[in-house]
Amino acid sequence: MGELGLKVEIDSHSGFCFGVIEAIKRVEFYLNRGEKIYCLGQIVHNEEEVRRLEAKGMITISYEEFKQLKNAKVLFRAHGEPPESYDIAHKNNIDLVDASCPIVTKLQERVRRAYLNGEKVYIYGKPGHPEVVGLLGQTEHKAVVFQNMEELDIEKMPREITLFSQTTKSKVKYNEIVKKLQELGIKVKVNNTICREVANRQPEVREFCKHYNKVVFVAGKKSSNGKVLYSVCKNENPNAFFVSSIDEINKEWFNKNDTVGICGATSTPQWLMQKVKSYIESL
């Protein structure tokens, strides 16, 4: 124990969700056999975990690189992919390892059905996020993607819409958007497509943060789920700090004998939270 005598605990509910665990298991299976495997885009929105897997031999590629690749093994990550990606894989003789999360796959099917049914599809999500790109692809890129009400031109909107959500968005905000749209006279066909595992993390994190003097939230800077959960943390405990690695931890955050809680996103590996815990204990 370091000179500050900090008592540190990790939130038992934090860490990889089911979909991410499965994707990483799949890629490690091939890496452990010494096989060459490419991953289309970042396997998880956590820089430290990506670095760990790349050190083991995983090769992360962009969409442009994927289009040129032939006769190779490629992993589709948990976020899911649009139909175009499957077309390219087929055309280029790609040995596809499809780790799309089953929850995302079901959502894609629902979005596709709504679109083919002639419904006006709106998606509450982050433009350009890999999961949202996959969803947009189900509608021939005709669905409207938005992150907040200000982005919508209410006057020009259809009077009846079918609304979906990116699986990692805040359930509270999604419900607020539904309510506001209905108040503005728009008929909303509501689809509850926020992942239950992700939604449950919010009350769990809120409860966890109450019990510590300080909270260190560990997540990748690109993690949408991380941003949502960190704001939940910060609202519950103003002494919450966001870090992506131990290099970002500041000793001055802590007072002698503080209790410190560590939690993370659905894209945060357990080993990284453990590393943060050990570092804080040494202060």
CA distance 159 to 154: 9
Can 131 be counted among the known catalytic residues? yes
CA distance 274 to 75: 27
Give the CA dihedral 253, 255, 258, 263, nearest 10 degrees. 0
Q: What average pLDDT does the segment 19-41 reach? A: 97
Cα Dmax for the chain? 65
CA distance 17 to 104: 13
pLDDT value at residue 224 = 85
CA distance 70 to 4: 56
Q: What average pLDDT does the segment 260-274 reach? A: 96
Res. 2 pLDDT band, cuts 50 70 90: confident
Instruction: Flag whether pLDDT at 1 surpasses 80.
Output: no
Query: By the 8 A CB rule, do 82 and 138 touch?
Result: yes
Note the pLDDT tens digit of each residue in 89-119.
999 999 999 999 999 999 999 999 999 999 9
CB-count exposure of residue 166 (10 Å: 0-12, 13-18, 19+)? buried
Res. 161 pLDDT band, cuts 50 70 90: very high
CB-count exposure of residue 232 (10 Å: 0-12, 13-18, 19+)? buried
Res. 42 pLDDT band, cuts 50 70 90: very high
pTM of the model: 0.91
pLDDT value at residue 29 = 98
How far is Cα of residue 100 from the mean position of the Cα atoms in its chain?
13
Question: Sheet containing 160-165: which strands, arranged edge to edge?
Answer: 144-146, 121-124, 160-165, 187-190
Write down the mean pLDDT value for the chain. 96
Query: By the 8 A CB rule, do 264 and 227 touch?
Result: no
pLDDT value at residue 170 = 87
User: Catalytic pick from 3, 84, 131, 207?
Assistant: 131
pLDDT value at residue 20 = 95
Domains and CATH numbers, the chain: 7-15+198-281 (3.40.1010.20), 18-100 (3.40.50.11270), 103-194 (3.40.1010.20)
Nearest alpha-carbon partner for 222 in 203, 244, 192: 244
Q: Helices 130-137 and 83-91: crossing angle, nearest 10°?
A: 90
